[in-house]
Amino acid sequence: MKFGVVTFPGSNCDQDLNYVLGKISGGKVISLWHKDSDLQGCDFVFLPGGFSYGDYLRSGAIAKFSPIMKEVILHAQKGGYVMGICNGFQILTECGLLPGALLRNRDTLFICSDVFIKAANDDTLITKFEAPQAPLMIPIAHGEGNYYCDEENRKRLWDNNQILFRYCNSTGEYTPEANLNGSLDNIAGICNTQKNVFGMMPHPERASDIRTGNTDGLKIFNSILQNLPV
């Protein structure tokens, strides 16, 4: 299994992902440039966090036109795995691989904080870790993380178990106070109906090294590595 991590102008979490996937998890990782038109045989493509193209116009709106995204979209449509984290999640909604949009945070301020999230199901590649009902403490850092979709898509997300994670408090309760950005239904991450495209706003790669004092995010990456088809 080969992982690819895309770098856009303004990405700032690509090297974190390379480090976690390669050095910590022991996977084979390829760095992909936004102007590339070849995924180099990667089976699982990651779109990292950051501020692609300076977040001009709106987050992810310009990155979706990068040459590499044509290949990423084709890869996903063929059943290949794709995961977007923070800005990567925003790019996935902009290019239509995931439903909905990420709006300005409820208080319109940039939020950089540890939050708690809980898996909404244990039926996807990234949520099959041990004790999925236990809250994970994962950092967030975004100004546009307020997930929104229309009522039709909202119903579809619930009916098809497409909600991956929801913001909660330290005891696992879904409260308004735990939902710092104001996301619909406390949603922190979703997937597509085929469950091969994943997006989440919190940064698990920033909570995957013992030296940070928090390895809750590593559970998500281990879930991927342990459950990927051989």
Residue 101 neighbours by CB under 8 Å, 6+ apart? 93, 94, 147, 148, 149
Which residues are catalytic, by number? 86, 203, 205
Q: Are 163 and 122 in contact (CB under 8 A)?
A: no
